[in-house]
Structure formats: C-alpha cells, structure tokens
C-alpha cells in the first residue's frame, strides 16, 4: 500500500485546527495588531527555530501580546515534520475584539499557520548576485516597533510596488534621513575597511533572524560585525555588499543605480555559513 499523500499546498491551521477563516473583528485585520514569522523547512526541520522564537518573544513583549512559546514550538515542529520541505508562516494576532484601539481586558490571540512550498527564486541570485532597486519609499522612525516583525508592512508594500522589472531581485530601503537600513525583505551587510558592518535597527527596520545568525557565526569565524548607522556614501564606498534572509540565505549585491560591486571572498564565506542552516 502506498503512503498517504499530504494535502495540497498551501494548507492553513487556525488555532491548531484546519481552516482558513478568522473573525472580521480580529485586531490583526483591523489594526495590524500582531506579529508573524516566516520559517524555512528542510528535511522536516524548522530552520533557525530558536532565533525565530526569540524574535517572536521580543515582539510579543513590545506589543504586550500574550503568547505560549511552548505551544508554538510544538505546533511548528509538528508542521515542519509533516511539510518536510517548504515554508511555515506563523501569524499571531491579538484576536477578535470590539471597536476602538484600547487593548481588551480579556485577550484571546489568534494563531494562523500556513504551510506552503518554497518560493522559486532564480539560482543566479546566489551564484551571480542581484541588482537592487533604489526605492523612493522611506522608513519612518518608531523605536518602540523597530526590529520586531509586526503585521504592519505597508512601507514594504509601497516600496515593493515601485518596480516590476524582474532584473531587480530586491529594493534598497533608506530611512527618513536617507540612511541605508535594509532591503524590502532582507537585511544588509557592507564590507568597509576590512570589516563587516550592518545598519543599526534601533529606529526602524526588521531584525532578521539570518542577520542575527550571521552576526554570531561571523564573529565565531574571526569576523565580528559592527552594528551602527551607515551613510549612503559608505554604502557606495564599500568593497562588498550582500543582503540576507532566512528563506534564501545570502545574495551578493552587484549593482545599485549604476554603481557596481564584485562578489568577494568574504561574501562567499557568509554565503557558506548561511547555507548550513537553509539546506
């Protein structure tokens, strides 16, 4: 007898049960009141799970959102074992409530887990590098929300809508003072004066789990990463540039608005480190 086939993707679980509906009064829908994580799965294992749960806990603390991390870990591990290879997107909202911004006295968070296939990114992005689109959309400053992956991604939506040319794999996002912060779905690393530098995320931006992982691993390899504000001039003066996230790993950056970079040995080192947890 053949093994049973897994249900077609994408699949959804809502509060642990099969389904794809939430209440129209859910605060995630009304106000973006919640958090999400997108987790790559390989060989039945949720990659960088500890880092994802750590960021989720930081976001929950910032939003005063009650989450059961042990329950989430169990659900993610079970879903990863079922999926084997693909993506898990976990969304946590504050749940249904009445009108008004005030947090209700009784909160019943909504858990939404989506199981889907991996995105079909061109292999050339990693092998040959990517071009960045110079986005006009600027990231506003809000220290209370900086770093966490909350549900309001309107800045990223507007930035990503600025180009349709498939020759651009990513877009560069600056803040309101025209300082490079990140890309639309990834973080940024620059090679300056023989050191890795990554933009500070204390005022805006998302603290990516691949960013945290690479900062730890590069430091262990004798390449500590400096986290500080970066200017646009420094970006253009850098010897190597790459962007990274927990789904695709590391993409070398080779062009931005006519400025070109070569793919250096230090970027390839970071790429190899990333591949250890995404393959």
Active site residues: 38, 149, 182
Could you give the CA distance from residue 36 to residue 278 in angstroms, rounded to a whole number?
19
Closest CA to 242 of 221, 201, 211, 213: 211
Estimate to the nearest angstrom the gap between the alpha carbon of 136 and the chain centroid: 21
**Owner of token pair 């349709």:** 164
**Helix, strand, or coil (residue 252):** strand
Could you give the CA distance from residue 141 to residue 184 in angstroms, rounded to a whole number?
16
Could you give the CA distance from residue 68 to residue 70 in angstroms, rounded to a whole number?
6
194: exposed, middle or buried (Cβ count in 10 Å: 0-12, 13-18, 19+)? exposed
Q: Are 168 and 125 in contact (CB under 8 A)?
A: no
Q: Are 102 and 85 in contact (CB under 8 A)?
A: no
């Amino acid at each position: 007898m053949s093994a049973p086939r897994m249900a077609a993707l994408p699949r959804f679980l809502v509060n642990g049960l099969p389904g794809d509906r939430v209440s129209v009064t859910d605060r995630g829908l009304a106000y973006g009141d919640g958090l999400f994580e997108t987790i790559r799965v390989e060989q039945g294992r949720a990659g960088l799970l500890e880092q994802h749960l750590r960021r989720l806990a930081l976001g929950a603390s910032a939003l005063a959102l009650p989450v059961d991390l042990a329950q989430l870990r169990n659900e993610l591990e079970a879903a990863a074992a079922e999926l084997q290879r693909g993506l898990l997107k976990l969304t946590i909202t504050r749940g249904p409530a009445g009108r008004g911004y005030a947090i209700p006295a009784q909160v019943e968070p909504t858990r939404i887990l989506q199981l889907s296939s991996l995105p079909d990114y061109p292999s050339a992005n990693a092998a040959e590098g990517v071009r960045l689109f110079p986005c006009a959309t600027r990231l506003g400053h809000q220290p209370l929300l900086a770093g966490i992956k909350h549900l309001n991604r309107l800045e990223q939506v507007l930035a990503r809508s600025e180009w349709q040319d498939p020759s651009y794999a990513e877009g560069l996002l600056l803040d309101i003072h025209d300082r490079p912060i990140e890309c639309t779905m990834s973080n940024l690393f620059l090679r300056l004066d023989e050191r890795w530098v990554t933009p500070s995320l204390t005022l805006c931006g998302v603290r990516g789990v691949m960013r945290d992982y690479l900062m730890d691993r590069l430091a262990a390899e004798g390449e500590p990463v400096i986290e500080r504000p970066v200017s646009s001039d420094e970006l253009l003066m850098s010897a190597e540039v790459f962007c990274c996230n927990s789904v695709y790993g590391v993409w070398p950056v080779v062009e931005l608005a006519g400025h070109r970079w070569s793919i250096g040995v230090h970027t390839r080192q970071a790429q190899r480190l990333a591949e250890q947890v995404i393959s």
